Amino acid sequence: MKNIGKLFLSLLLTHFFASEIYAQEEPIVLKTPTADIQGTLTMPDQKKRIPIVLIISGSGATDRDCNQPNMKSDAFKYLADTLRKSGIASVRFDKRGVGKSLTKDFKEKDLIFDDYAKDIKGWLAMLAKDNRFSKIIVAGHSEGSLLGMIACKNNKKVKGYISIAGPATPTNEKLKEQLASQPQEMKTMLYAMIDTLKNGDTLHNVPKSLYVLFRPSVQPYLISWFKYNPQTEIKALNMPVLIIQGSTDIQVSVKDAELLAAAKPSSKKVIIQNMNHPLKDCDTVDQTKNFAIYNKPELPLNATFVKEMIGFIKGIK
C-alpha cells in the first residue's frame, strides 16, 4: 500500500510538472500571403511586461530547435528554456519550407533569401503589437545572423541585436573559403560557377555530382543570398549589438567576429573559449570529434554563452 501511494504521488507530480512545462510553451503562427510560418512561444510565469527574443536559425533545413533531419542538438530549445528561467520570453520558428512550415505547394525554385527576411519582419511586426512584451531583441545564428541584420535595419521596435556565430563575409566568398582545399582543376570550375551566380546569372548543365551545391532549383536562392555583405548590414544597425563567437567553431571563425566588430565599433564582441557552432562545450577543432557534439542533444549550452546573452538583454533600456 505504501509503494502504491508513492507511485501515485510520483505520477501526480509528473503530470503537474508536464502540464506546467506545456503551459509555458505554446504554438504561434505567422500568417503570410504564401505560407503559415509555424513557431513556438516560450513564456516565463510573470504578470509584468517582459522582454522577448526572436531566435533565427541557420542555413539549410535547420528547424526552430536548431535541428536538422540527420542532426539533433536542441540548442534553441535549451536557449528558450534558459531565457524563460531568467524572465525572458522567446519565439523560435521553422523557416518556410522547413519542419512544420513545409507546405504541400512549396517549391524550392520559388524561394529567395529575401523571403526569409520578409518573414522575420512579419514576426517583428506581430510581436510589436503584443502588449505583454516590453522590448524586442533579435538573435540570429549562423545564416540567421545576416537575416536578423537585414530585418532589424531601420526598425525602431527592435531594441537590441545579437549575432551568434555569424559569418562576416558575403556567402560567395565564404563558400570559396570552404572549397579552397579542392584539387586545383575542381576548384577553378567551382569558383567560376560561384562567380557566375554572384553576377546574377544561372548555371546550365550542372553535373549531377554538384547538385548538392548548385542544383537548378537552389540557384535563385544563392543569387539573392550572394548580394549581401554582413559587414555592410551590421554597420547600418542603430541599436545595441552583441557579437558572440565560439573559439572551436569549425564553420564560422573568430576572424568573422572580429570583422563584424570592426564594422560596428560600438558593438560588444565576446569570444567564448571552447564553444562550437551548436553552442555546446567543445575543446577541439578536430572535425570528427567536433561534429560528434552536433548530434548530442543531452549536452547543455555553454554556460558563458548563456550568461553573456542574458546580461546583454537585461542591460538594454
Task: Write the CATH number for 29.
Answer: 3.40.50.1820
On whether both 123 and 176 belong to a single domain, the answer is: no
Residue pair 273/284 in contact by the 8 Å Cβ criterion: no
Q: Are residues 159 and 244 in the same domain?
A: yes
**Are 219 and 82 found together in one domain?**
no
Q: Is 53 in the same domain as 193? A: no
Task: Give the residue-averaged pLDDT of 7-26.
Answer: 49
221 part of a folded domain:
yes
DSSP string, 88-103: -EEEEEPPTTSGGG--
Q: Look at residue 196 in the predicted model and tell me its pLDDT.
A: 98
Burial of 249 (0-12, 13-18, 19+ CB in 10 A): buried
Q: What share of the chain has pLDDT > 70, as a percent?
A: 93
Give 168: exposed, middle or buried? Use CB within 10 Å, 0-12, 13-18, 19+: buried
What would the mean pLDDT of 236-263 be, rounded to a whole number? 98
pTM: 0.91
Spatial CA neighbour of 217 closest among 53, 94, 107, 98:
107
The model's pLDDT over 67-114, given as tens digits with 9 standing for 90+, comes to 999 999 999 999 999 999 999 999 999 999 999 999 989 999 999 999
pLDDT at 18: 38
CA proximity to 252, closest of 179, 157, 159, 143 = 143
Residue 17: its pLDDT value, please? 41
pLDDT at 2: 45
The confidence score (pLDDT) of residue 20 equals 42
Sign for the pseudo-dihedral over CA of 33, 38, 42, 47: positive
pLDDT, average across residues 136-147: 98
Domain span at residue 262 reads 23-169+228-315
Q: Do 43 and 55 sit in the same domain of this protein?
A: yes
Say if 1 falls within a structural domain: no
Whether 4 is in a domain gets the answer no
What pLDDT does 10 receive? 44
Show which of 211, 227, 243 is a domain's final residue: 227
Whether residues 76 and 194 fall in one domain: no
Q: Is residue 71 part of a domain?
A: yes
Are 92 and 236 in the same domain?
Answer: yes
What percent of the chain stands above pLDDT 90? 90
- pLDDT of 2-12, one tens digit each? 454 444 444 44
How high is the pLDDT of residue 47? 81
* Final residue in a domain of this structure, among 209, 227, 245: 227
State the pLDDT confidence band at 117, using cuts at 50, 70 and 90.
Answer: very high
Grid cell listed for 303: 554556460
Mean pLDDT of 163-180: 96
C-beta neighbour count of 1 within 10 angstroms: 4
Domain assignment of residue 79, yes or no: yes
218 and 232 part of one domain: no
Last residue of a domain, one of 227, 250, 274: 227
pLDDT at site 11: 42
**Could you write out the DSSP letters of every residue in 203-256?**
--S--GGGHHHH-GGGHHHHHHHHT--HHHHHHT--S-EEEEEETT-SSS-HHH
Q: Mapping DSSP to helix (H, G, I), strand (E, B) and coil, where does residue 137 land? A: strand
Average pLDDT score over residue span 247-253:
96
- Same structural domain, 130 and 52: yes
Q: Which pLDDT tens digit goes with each residue over 205-237?
A: 999 999 999 999 999 999 999 999 999 999 999
Do 297 and 163 share a domain, yes or no? yes
Total of domains in the chain: 2
Judged against a pLDDT cut of 50, whether residue 16 lies above it is answered with no
pLDDT of 46 reads 84
Pick from 22-36, 122-136, 188-202: least confident: 22-36
Specify whether the CB–CB gap between 42 and 90 falls below 8 A: yes
Q: Where are the alpha helices (DSSP H) in 25-169?
A: 75-85, 113-128, 143-152
> Is 11 inside any structural domain?
no
Residue 100 and residue 164 in one domain: yes
Q: What is the mean pLDDT of residues 290-299?
A: 98
Same structural domain for residues 300 and 222? Answer: no
What grid cell was written down for 124? 517583428
